[in-house]
Amino acid sequence: MTAYAAPLVGGAAYVMAASTLAALRGAGHALADAPQPLALVVCVQEGHQDDEAATDGVVRSLFRRAAVAATLNAQAQVSPVGLDSRGVRRSLLAFGWLLLLGGGTIAAGIGGLWLALGYPLIRRATLRSADPLIIAAPLAQAIGASTIARRQHAGLTSLARLLETGGGVGQVTLTDRYQQAAAACVPLGLAPLAEFYGALARGAEPRMPWAAEERADGAVREPA
């Protein structure tokens, strides 16, 4: 799983982009199928230094928040199984029991058996296998047990340089720098971070899980 230590003007931010959420959702399904160790990777710029012992806890908690978001997204995508109306289902169940108990013929018994027992059981089995929450427990366990590695990313190094120099054109405001960073994300292979820098440029709160690391004291701030 790959997260990003996105460079900021005067610090860095740990960001769980949409691609991280997609990978976590995918890993969750794979883990639910067969438990395996998970590799957590934070992409960093060249020369990035942080107190690994201190930031690992924050990064792990961000991965957990991203896993929750990925699970909830998956839950929203599930389509209903079988009849959606509870009223119709109950009517059919009652009709099935009436046929089973009072039908009086083998044909009515078979029909009643299906409506009273067969259909509700088969529907429940399908719902159980389609439950998106089955990925939550294996993901939580794997995130807690895995180590966090840091790997250099060429795009982040270029982005850090861009933010530092501001494109090298006279006085550049903070907003301009983040706008430039958002525009540079796709050509630098950091398309998942474009939304993050776009939100910073607008002065809005990025929607994905993230935490900023201030360079002055090295402390990591996690937004509420």
- Helices marked H in the chain — which ranges? 18-33, 52-77, 86-102, 106-113, 119-130, 136-145, 154-165, 174-184, 194-202
Instruction: Give the contacts of 34 (CB within 8 A, at least 6 positions apart).
Output: none
Binds another protein (CB under 8 A): choice among 54, 94, 101, 154: 154
Of 61-69, 122-130, 163-171, 208-216, the segment contacting another protein by CB under 8 A is: 122-130
> Are the C-beta atoms of 143 and 60 separated by less than 8 Å?
yes
CA dihedral 212, 214, 218, 224 (to 10 degrees): -40
Binds another protein (CB under 8 A): choice among 58, 60, 95, 98: 95
Rule CB under 8 A: is residue 129 a binding residue for another protein? yes
Residues 22 and 38: their CA atoms lie apart, in Å, by 15
Binds another protein (CB under 8 A): choice among 11, 118, 166, 198: 118
Binds another protein (CB under 8 A): choice among 10, 49, 88, 101: 88
**Closest listed residue to residue 206, CA positions, set 218, 187, 217, 192:** 192
Of 54-62, 88-96, 140-148, 209-217, the segment contacting another protein by CB under 8 A is: 88-96
Please report, as residue ranges, which positions from 16 to 45 form the binding site for another protein (by CB under 8 A): 19-20, 22-23, 25-30, 33-34, 36-37, 39, 41, 43-44
Burial of residue 106, with CB atoms counted within 10 A of its CB: 0-12 exposed, 13-18 middle, 19 or more buried? exposed
Of 8-16, 129-137, 162-170, 213-221, the segment contacting another protein by CB under 8 A is: 129-137
Binds another protein (CB under 8 A): choice among 188, 193, 212, 220: 188
Q: Residue 184 CB, nearest distance to another protein (Å)?
A: 10
